[in-house]
Amino acid sequence: MKIGVLKETKEGERRVALSPDVIKQLIKKEFTVTVEQDAGVGSNFSDQDYKDAGATVGSSQDVFSADLLLKVNLFTKQEVSEMKNGSACMSIMYAYNHPEILEELNKKSIMSFSMDAVPRISRAQKMDCLSSQANLAGYKSVILGANHLEKIFPLMMTASGTITPAKVLIFGAGVAGLQAIATAKRLGAVVEVSDVRPETKEQVESLGGRFLTVEGAEEVKVEGGYAAEVSAEFLQKQKELIQNKIKDSDLVITTALVMGKKSPILVTEEMVKTMKKGAVIVDMAVESGGNCEISEKDQIVKKYGVTIIGESNLPSLLSTNASQLYATNISTLLMHLATKDGFNLDREEEITKGVLITYEGQVVHEFTNKILTKSN
């Protein structure tokens, strides 16, 4: 099987789908790999690094001749048009948001696999790119916030006086939120956490955070590790709880996502008005609409004396590590699905069924079909 690695075209994207170290492992398994020229530059991998690993480095046309194309981000219509009929592709797709791309893939009977659809089960952990990238994003959110905060995180006792620790408020205790808690605590901050899932309380407290309990949280449903959409009544109770907390916070980090839907607004403009001058908000959900009412995608906004950071691609800011982890995720999935001789799919097997989006000219992914049917 010939694998092709394309250079990312999304603005600001510095990651690459395969690292040289992972390519060495694929070459040992007798796959052949062609990498587009300069594909790894943003992650500090040179063309020579790829050649030394056993890959061929070529033009985009050389890469498009592959049996399987790999990327981090969704393939564009133009890229799909250059793929071979009956070939395959694998990337982070969020397929339910892009029916127009699915249509183009089906026209050419291209088999597609979505990295964001890997089921959250123990044997698929090494394939789970959402977790690997969220871990890095959670760390970076705190570092970004600290850089923009005009005060230090830890308690500091000096001859000139005592500086009290920064207060950090985190919304969401998923993978990103938990890493943000751990990072903020290591830097010496006091950390409080709100999450709609009461079962996260133990994890939060194990990292040294204080869990803020919302009345009625036990009724929230969880699907695939994510909270399902919650009621307006519950969101109101959550807002009331955090209204007093947010006034005293130095840094607020929001991570709340609802799979397949727009992110809930947790921090209203009115709340921002009540925050301390010099406070910082990092909205990690800005890509899917944002948890802060006035955050702007890929912008740093200053309003009411508060800095609101809307960086939509935090993992790309740690591109070397992000690419290393993503390469492990995507290669592990690939070796689960295929050998050097091609794909050997058991479409009823849980991981395969979870990641296969288009097959023989049809959308076969259950969750994607469900969302697309609702939106029509």
CA atoms within 13 A on the CB side of 150: 7
Low-confidence winner among 22-26, 85-89, 141-145, 263-267 (lowest mean pLDDT): 263-267
Interatomic CA distance for residues 343 and 200, integer angstroms:
38
| Same domain as 332, residue 283 | no
b/e 325-335 (16+ beta carbons within 10 angstroms → b) = bbbbbbbbbbe
Q: What is the pLDDT of residues 279-309, one digit of tens each?
A: 999 999 999 999 999 999 999 999 999 999 9
| Residue 119 near residue 351, CB atoms below 8 Å | yes
Strand partners, 222: 227
Q: What is the pLDDT of residues 100-154, one digit of tens each?
A: 999 999 999 999 999 999 999 999 999 999 999 999 999 999 999 999 999 999 9
The domain that holds 351 is classified in CATH as 3.40.50.720
Residue 143 CB burial class (10 angstroms; 0-12, 13-18, ≥19) = middle
The tokens for 129 are 């790119």
| Same domain as 216, residue 106 | no
Looking at residue 75, what is its pLDDT?
Answer: 98
Please report which helix (H) or strand (E) contains residue 370, including its range: helix 366-375
| Same domain as 253, residue 150 | yes
Looking at per-residue confidence, does 65 or 231 come out higher?
Answer: 65
The tokens for 140 are 């970076």
Longest dimension (CA), the chain: 73
With 60 as the cut, is the pLDDT of residue 353 above it?
yes
Q: What is the pLDDT of residues 157-185, one digit of tens each?
A: 999 999 999 999 999 999 999 999 999 99
| Same domain as 189, residue 246 | yes
Reduce the DSSP state of residue 9 to 3 states and report it.
Answer: coil
Interatomic CA distance for residues 238 and 196, integer angstroms:
8
Confidence tier at 94 by pLDDT (50, 70, 90): very high
Low-confidence winner among 104-118, 220-234, 292-306, 340-354 (lowest mean pLDDT): 220-234
**Nearest to 74, CA basis, from 135, 140, 17, 1:** 17
| Same domain as 112, residue 146 | no
Confidence tier at 350 by pLDDT (50, 70, 90): very high
| Residue 70 near residue 83, CB atoms below 8 Å | no
Interatomic CA distance for residues 235 and 289, integer angstroms:
16
Looking at per-residue confidence, does 198 or 363 come out higher?
Answer: 363
With 60 as the cut, is the pLDDT of residue 221 above it?
no
Q: What's the whole-model pTM score?
A: 0.93
| Same domain as 37, residue 101 | yes
List, in order, residues 6 or more apart from 165 with CB less than 8 Å away: 153, 154, 155, 188, 189, 190
Domain boundary among 272, 288, 312: 312
Looking at residue 226, what is its pLDDT?
Answer: 56
| Same domain as 263, residue 346 | no
Q: What is the dihedral of CA 22, 27, 29, 35, to 10 degrees?
A: 70
Confidence tier at 220 by pLDDT (50, 70, 90): low
Q: How crowded is residue 312: how many other Cβ atoms within 10 Å of its Cβ?
A: 18
| Same domain as 155, residue 284 | yes
Q: What is the pLDDT of residues 27-43, one digit of tens each?
A: 999 999 999 999 999 99
| Residue 18 near residue 49, CB atoms below 8 Å | no
Domain residue limits at 331? 2-127+318-375
With 70 as the cut, is the pLDDT of residue 222 above it?
no
| Same domain as 119, residue 18 | yes
Looking at residue 34, what is its pLDDT?
Answer: 98
Looking at residue 216, what is its pLDDT?
Answer: 62
Looking at residue 95, what is its pLDDT?
Answer: 96
Q: How crowded is residue 15: how many other Cβ atoms within 10 Å of its Cβ?
A: 29
| Same domain as 211, residue 183 | yes
Domain boundary among 297, 312, 327: 312
| Same domain as 47, residue 187 | no
Indicate the residue type of 111: M
Looking at residue 302, what is its pLDDT?
Answer: 97
Looking at residue 186, what is its pLDDT?
Answer: 98
Interatomic CA distance for residues 343 and 334, integer angstroms:
9
List residues with catalytic annotation.
120, 125, 128, 131, 226
Total domains present in the chain: 2
Confidence tier at 225 by pLDDT (50, 70, 90): low
Q: What value does the mean pLDDT take over residues 14-25?
A: 98
The tokens for 161 are 């006086």
Reduce the DSSP state of residue 134 to 3 states and report it.
Answer: helix
Domain boundary among 261, 294, 312: 312
Looking at per-residue confidence, does 203 or 375 come out higher?
Answer: 203
| Residue 242 near residue 266, CB atoms below 8 Å | yes
| Residue 23 near residue 33, CB atoms below 8 Å | yes
| Same domain as 167, residue 296 | yes
Looking at residue 375, what is its pLDDT?
Answer: 74
pLDDT over 90 percentage in the chain: 86
Looking at residue 236, what is its pLDDT?
Answer: 79
